[in-house]
A and B are shown apart, each in its own frame.
Chain A
Amino acid sequence: MNDVEFVVKRKNYSVTLKHYSIMLNTYRNILLFCLLLNSYSWAETQNAPTLPLAEAVENVYPAIVRIEVVSEQGSSGRMMKSRATGSGVIISKDGRVVTNHHVAGKATRITCRLHNGEEVMADLLGADPMTDLAVLLLRMEDRPANSKPLTVANFADSDKVEIGDVCFAMGSPAGLSQSVTRGIVSNVALISPNKGSFRLDGENVGELVRWLGHDAVIFPGNSGGPLVDEKGYIIGINEVGIGSLGGAIPSNLARTVSKELAENGFISRCWTGLECQPVLNPNEKGILVAGIIEESPAEDAGLKPGDLIKTYDGRTVMARIAEDLPLFNQLSYGMKVGKKLKITGLRKNKKMSWVLTTATRESAFAKERELKSWGITIRDFTLMSSLEARRSSKKGAQVHSVGRGGPSNSAKPSLNRGDVITGINGSPVTGIADLVRLSKKITEGKNEPVSTLVSFERDMAKLLTVVKIGPEAEENRPVQAWKPWLGVSTQVLTRELAEALNMPKTTRGVRIAQVYPRTPSQKAGMQAGDLLFRIDGQIIQAYRTEDAEVFGNMIKEYKPGSLALFSGMRDGKKLDLNVTLEKRPDPSNELPDYEEETFEFTVRELSFGDRVSKRLKEKEPGLVVENVEPAGWASLAGLRQGDLVLNINGESMSEVDLFEKKMNQWIKNEEKRIIFFVKRGIHTLFLELEPDWDNT
């Protein structure tokens, strides 16, 4: 959800879930049937005692919150909004909530629903991808004055948790209301079986965390919810599902991280450039140095791959299996920044000693931003991302995603993911701030795209390109050729049909199936059921279903405004009707429309075809939703293409001009919510469009 790698993982997981659900669907009914069939006799004969939740657990239950977030992630040159739900737990009276980073770490809007259904907006205090933890603060000032105080859950000492202990997983699985499942702790040092497979913002989550594995059932949506012991204390924060096991971040780690996040908004960690792995020889004691990042403190200290570390800052360290590594990483990353520490060990069986000075550990990736006028999302470099990109400095802005057909994609050569923009029109670009500033300067007051010379680096090559940045080019929408129109739908008079209607088999023509209102055909008195054989004396050569377009094509031979004589039969009597063919009504793509850029959707006025298909009266108001951008606020509110907008904030809508005027007014006022009353098929519904004005 929060990172590319994680999405892959989630997708894999969803595939598993899909298979699981198929299996469930197949067997659920049988199982349910069996359970229902046996339940009565089972209850009677077994008289088994029920298992009530312990009072302590009941007491902590009101501390669970269901979290609904609107998050953003860069993709295809845009920051795509998405809606998700997760769980959290209240840990302080002033409204601090602990959850997962992958639930709320990239949220632009957070709403928490308390156990009693009360909804409270919240702000993100801080998030840490390495431990996948985030801390929110409920907007207590928004709560009604007579609200009950919050129920707070407390952390237990997770080091005391043992395999077999009873535990309760609490949260909102699949976005449902707060739920509890029961299980036992299965493992106290669960790690990801695939090293590096769980990444958030480029960070390897498994580096620091050894999860508490348990078999209390959890689903997506349980993430961030507490794992509670029998006394009602938090022993972990649910984070992952590995097979049928749940994995929770141990409470001791969650407590320290959430405290620091609440206080500072981030976790201060040190960086050494040391990469370790368990020893190859199980009889050896220590940690094997797998790699040293160039120009890192570890390299400066003289450490080399193959060295065996025995002590680290005076503490004996060892990693015999992968599960031992997170403990070493916690120790290593937890040192103070700038601290000189002593490391002892072996190199080719010779005793060695090194002195290492720790450096500040920056995050793996900087926050991604969208540059709309360029059609890209982009990131500044951090120390780690610049090292990963094998760059000698953090200067430049790295392209993360490019919109297909956008200005950067249309440039020759086009900008690609991973390219580093280093200059515009000869001015250096050291980061996103420069890029934004220079772009603004270039496009200010312009109403069409400006050709901009861009210097960028791709691997070792230093390239130039021209990107047309700025307002989108005016779109060209061609008009459709005028055609004459009768305003009926017809069916071919096939031989079988002609015979059934007591006419010779050789009859050729069409039968009118529908006469549209207010059309030339209606004005001339045509009726459904009329049979037409000739137009101006010419036989309508239609007698097979393949001839369906013959009649229409004959009409299209005329010019709009022409008078044509239609000959045929009605109720067995000869019929001759003179019809003045009118110009076909304007097609929908020629009707006035308006693209609303804040909420990201397009509406247009009703066409004749819309009124016929939606069975609307001539003057009935409404605007048709032509398009809804998938990641926009309108999409998040549930607006759908094809919806008919009847009114907005109570004001009837039938003209695009009024719509534009009103929308601009509401946007200017930054209305908290705009209510759309829409018609969808035979149903009507109210939709609440609630933008986050700070991020719009």
Chain B
Amino acid sequence: MKKLVLFTLALFLGVSFQALGKKPEILWRKLLKENANCVTWVSVTVKLEISAGGRSLPPQEQKLEALGTIIAEDGLTVLSLNKVDPTANILSRIRTPGASVNVNYTEVMLLMQDGTEVPAKLLLKDVDLDLAYVLPIKERKDEYKEVIFSKVPSQAKQKADPLILDEVVSIGKLRQTLYRQSTLQRGWVNAVIQKPRKYFVIENTSPGTPVFDQSGKWLGVVVYKMVGGRPSEIVTLPASDVLEIAQQVRTRTQ
């Protein structure tokens, strides 16, 4: 009898440890199931006016697609600016003093999972932090009534900041060629930069996508670290910073 109790206890403990070991995956799968659509593809058409050495090139249009994270119920979406604004890349190629690139957005669309294209506007950008904020626009109140914007789940508290080597996960979406299927990408925190601004260096992430900690709390958004006006490394900007700048979308552009 004693042996049986010990065996049962051992079995229970074994199962419990196994369950505990699987917990992040189970939680993350649930996170994906419930929040996959907090990540969306955004399509932008930009008209570029490039001038260098006193000469202007004929205006060119480019169509770009980028991943973004929906951060509010009204569809406010944050993107990596470099993915929708080729200015930095063009200027780095021209290398002519006084060169200028004007980017005008002629069309911005949120590409919903079911194929609906919701017209939007790029309202605010932060070139230092590589952020662009896009908000759906409605001509009429009842327009796109059927579209539900799935907001990113709540933000991680400061105390829950991950440590180096902690596992995190980011939600993403594949390209059109792979039917924009949702993905989860596991990553590890390689570094936490504290000064002059907090950044997480997390491997295996894509710009514009949200990153979550082990408890499924939103940690931040993946952006490029800007160095001298050019994109360099991929980092994760804390959610609090993303939301703080988003306030300006409300106050300055409404």
A-B contact count (CB 8 A): 113
Interface presence of A630 (CB below 8 A): yes
Contact at A479–B61, with CB atoms within 8 Å?
no
Interface residues of A in 476-525 (CB under 8 A from B): 476-483
Interface presence of A82 (CB below 8 A): no
A residues in contact with B100, CB < 8 Å: 626-627, 641-642
Interface residues of B in 108-152 (CB under 8 A from A): 108, 121-129, 131-133
B123 to chain A, nearest CB (A): 5
Contact at B51–A641, with CB atoms within 8 Å?
yes
A600-637 CB mask vs B (1 if < 8 Å, else 0) is 00100000000000000000000000111111000100
B9-23 CB mask vs A (1 if < 8 Å, else 0) is 000000000000000
B204-219 CB mask vs A (1 if < 8 Å, else 0) is 0000000000000000
Residue of B nearest to A641 (CB): B51
B residues in contact with A641, CB < 8 Å: 51-52, 54-56, 100
Interface presence of A473 (CB below 8 A): yes
Residue of A nearest to B107 (CB): A473
Contact at A627–B49, with CB atoms within 8 Å?
yes
A residues in contact with B61, CB < 8 Å: 404-406, 409-410
Contact at A476–B121, with CB atoms within 8 Å?
yes
Interface presence of B3 (CB below 8 A): no
Interface residues of B in 85-100 (CB under 8 A from A): 98, 100
Contact at A630–B57, with CB atoms within 8 Å?
yes
Residue of A nearest to B252 (CB): A479
Interface presence of B197 (CB below 8 A): yes
B96 to chain A, nearest CB (A): 11
- Given A481-B131, A630-B55, A476-B60 contact (CB < 8 Å): no
A-B contacts, 7 of them at CB < 8 A, read A472-B106, A475-B106, A481-B125, A481-B128, A626-B51, A635-B56, A641-B100
Interface presence of B248 (CB below 8 A): yes
A residues in contact with B253, CB < 8 Å: 479
A residues in contact with B104, CB < 8 Å: 475-477
Q: How far is the CA of A602 from the CA of B45 in the complex (A)?
A: 21
A478, A602, A640: the one within 8 Å of B125 (CB): A478
- Given A405-B60, A481-B124, A640-B55, A475-B47 contact (CB < 8 Å): yes
B213 to chain A, nearest CB (A): 24
Taking chain B's interface residues, is the majority helix, strand, or loop, or is none over half, making it mixed? Answer: strand
B37 to chain A, nearest CB (A): 24
Contact at B128–A483, with CB atoms within 8 Å?
yes
Q: How far is the CA of A557 from the CA of B45 in the complex (A)?
A: 32
B50-72 CB mask vs A (1 if < 8 Å, else 0) is 01101111111111000000000
Q: How far is the CA of A363 from the CA of B245 in the complex (A)?
A: 63
B179-197 CB mask vs A (1 if < 8 Å, else 0) is 0000000000000000111
Q: How far is the CA of A554 from the CA of B227 in the complex (A)?
A: 15
Residue of B nearest to A588 (CB): B100
A residues in contact with B8, CB < 8 Å: none
The count of chain B contact residues (Cβ–Cβ below 8 Å) is: 45
Interface presence of A652 (CB below 8 A): no
Contact at A476–B47, with CB atoms within 8 Å?
no
Contact at B105–A629, with CB atoms within 8 Å?
no
B226-254 CB mask vs A (1 if < 8 Å, else 0) is 01100000000000000001001000110
Interface presence of B102 (CB below 8 A): yes
Q: Which 9 A-B residue pairs are closest in the complex by CB-CB distance?
A: A405-B61, A640-B54, A641-B51, A553-B196, A481-B126, A475-B104, A476-B105, A478-B122, A627-B49
- Given A404-B60, A475-B106, A481-B245, A627-B51 contact (CB < 8 Å): yes
A residues in contact with B245, CB < 8 Å: 481
A residues in contact with B195, CB < 8 Å: 541, 550
A570 to chain B, nearest CB (A): 24
Interface presence of A203 (CB below 8 A): no
- Given A553-B196, A641-B51, A475-B252 contact (CB < 8 Å): no
A residues in contact with B248, CB < 8 Å: 481-482
- Given A475-B104, A477-B104, A482-B248, A557-B196 contact (CB < 8 Å): yes
Most chain A beta-carbon contacts within 10 A, residue among B60, B62, B100, B196:
B196
Interface presence of A589 (CB below 8 A): yes
Contact at A476–B108, with CB atoms within 8 Å?
yes
Q: How far is the CA of A642 from the CA of B53 in the complex (A)?
A: 8
Task: Show the binding face of B for A, using Cβ within 8 Å.
Answer: 45, 47, 49, 51-52, 54-63, 98, 100, 102-108, 121-129, 131-133, 195-197, 227-228, 245, 248, 252-253
- Given A553-B197, A627-B49, A627-B56, A476-B126 contact (CB < 8 Å): no
Interface residues of A in 356-411 (CB under 8 A from B): 404-406, 409-410
Interface presence of A229 (CB below 8 A): no
B residues in contact with A409, CB < 8 Å: 61
A543-583 CB mask vs B (1 if < 8 Å, else 0) is 00000111001101100000000000000000000000000
Q: How far is the CA of A643 from the CA of B61 in the complex (A)?
A: 25
- Given A541-B195, A626-B100, A626-B102, A480-B126 contact (CB < 8 Å): yes
Interface presence of A76 (CB below 8 A): yes
A450 to chain B, nearest CB (A): 15
A residues in contact with B125, CB < 8 Å: 478-481
Q: How far is the CA of A626 from the CA of B228 in the complex (A)?
A: 23
Contact at B102–A589, with CB atoms within 8 Å?
yes
B residues in contact with A629, CB < 8 Å: 56, 58-59
A595 to chain B, nearest CB (A): 10
Contact at A405–B62, with CB atoms within 8 Å?
yes
A residues in contact with B49, CB < 8 Å: 602, 626-627
A residues in contact with B196, CB < 8 Å: 541, 550, 553-554, 556-557
B193 to chain A, nearest CB (A): 11
Residue of A nearest to B229 (CB): A549
- Given A473-B107, A557-B196, A627-B102, A479-B56 contact (CB < 8 Å): no
A206 to chain B, nearest CB (A): 33
Contact at B47–A405, with CB atoms within 8 Å?
yes
B residues in contact with A602, CB < 8 Å: 49
Contact at A478–B131, with CB atoms within 8 Å?
no
A residues in contact with B47, CB < 8 Å: 405, 475
- Given A479-B253, A480-B125, A630-B62 contact (CB < 8 Å): no
Besides the known contacts A635-B56, A642-B100, 11 further A-B residue pairs in the complex with CB atoms under 8 A apart: A473-B106, A476-B105, A478-B105, A478-B133, A479-B123, A548-B228, A553-B197, A589-B102, A626-B51, A629-B58, A641-B100
A477, A480, A635: the one within 8 Å of B105 (CB): A477
B237 to chain A, nearest CB (A): 13
B54, B59, B121, B124: the one within 8 Å of A480 (CB): B124
Residue of A nearest to B46 (CB): A405
Residue of A nearest to B133 (CB): A478
A residues in contact with B102, CB < 8 Å: 589, 626-627
Q: How far is the CA of A607 from the CA of B165 in the complex (A)?
A: 46
Most chain A beta-carbon contacts within 10 A, residue among B47, B51, B56, B253:
B56
Q: How far is the CA of A76 from the CA of B57 in the complex (A)?
A: 12
Q: How far is the CA of A640 from the CA of B51 in the complex (A)?
A: 9
A266 to chain B, nearest CB (A): 33
Q: How far is the CA of A589 from the CA of B100 in the complex (A)?
A: 11
Residue of B nearest to A630 (CB): B58
B residues in contact with A643, CB < 8 Å: 54
A422 to chain B, nearest CB (A): 26
Residue of A nearest to B60 (CB): A404
